[in-house]
């Protein structure tokens, strides 16, 4: 086979994959933007019901985000003829819910306050870091690392429900910026 033809085939495939990766990242902005909105809503909820009773609210929020993202993906598929995969988001949601609940519970059971306060947020940030690797997004990776830094600072300086509410607000702001960048 002619090496030039092989090189051309590879270059064309790389260019096509670059376009598809761009589409996948843009699609991922939908659930991430909705998640940021959910975190904003959860911010006052954390102050009202307390950090140890947030499980159902977080579950409902993630379910709502998933349903809305699914509807949006269907709409885009109807209009543009391209349907993105929802399962990377489902992975993030499942890890966030199960891992978050487990770390929070562990923190309470063993009397480790920082694990109870920052643990679920750290799990969320790590799930987003994995997602960043999967969709090849630097913006999501930077957001996830920023979130980790926020949690370490909050866990060292604040306590109680306020610490949880502050993390919700800060995480929402960081994620809003990241989803705006990848959704362009």
Q: What residues between 5 and 24 interact with another protein by CB under 8 A? A: 6-7, 9-14, 16-21, 23-24
Total interface residues for another protein by CB under 8 A: 30
**Cβ at position 15, least distance to another protein in Å:** 9
Angle between helices 113-134 and 100-109 (to 10 degrees): 160
* Residue 138 touches another protein, criterion: CB under 8 A: no
89/93 Cα distance (integer angstroms): 6
Candidates 56, 80, 111, 157: give the one binding another protein (CB under 8 A): 80
Rounded CA-CA distance 25/140 in Å is 10
How many C-alpha atoms does 101 have within 13 Å on its Cβ side? 12
Pick 19 or 110: Cβ nearer another protein:
19
Q: Which of 36, 46, 65, 84 binds another protein (CB under 8 A)?
A: 84
The yes or no reply on residue 56 touching another protein (CB under 8 A) is: no
DSSP 8-state secondary structure symbol assigned to residue 81: S
CB of 132 vs another protein, minimal distance in Å: 13
Neighbours of 48 (CB within 10 A): 10
Length of the chain: 184
């Amino acid at each position: 086979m002619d090496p030039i033809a092989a090189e051309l085939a590879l270059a064309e495939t790389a260019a096509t994959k670059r376009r598809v990766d761009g589409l996948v990242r843009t699609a991922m902005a939908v659930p991430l933007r909705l998640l940021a909105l959910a975190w904003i809503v959860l911010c006052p909820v954390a102050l009202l019901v307390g950090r140890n009773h947030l499980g159902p609210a977080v579950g409902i929020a993630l379910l709502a985000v998933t349903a809305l993202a699914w509807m949006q993906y269907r709409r885009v598929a109807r209009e543009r003829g391209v349907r993105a995969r929802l399962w990377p988001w489902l992975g993030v949601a499942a890890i966030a819910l199960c891992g978050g609940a487990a770390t929070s519970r562990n923190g309470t059971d063993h009397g480790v306050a920082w694990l109870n306060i920052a643990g679920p947020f750290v799990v969320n940030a790590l799930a987003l870091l994995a997602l960043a690797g999967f969709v090849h997004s630097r913006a999501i990776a930077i957001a996830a690392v920023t979130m980790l830094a926020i949690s370490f600072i909050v866990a060292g300086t604040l306590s109680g429900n306020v610490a949880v509410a502050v993390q919700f607000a800060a995480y929402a702001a960081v994620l809003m910026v990241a989803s705006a960048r990848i959704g362009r």
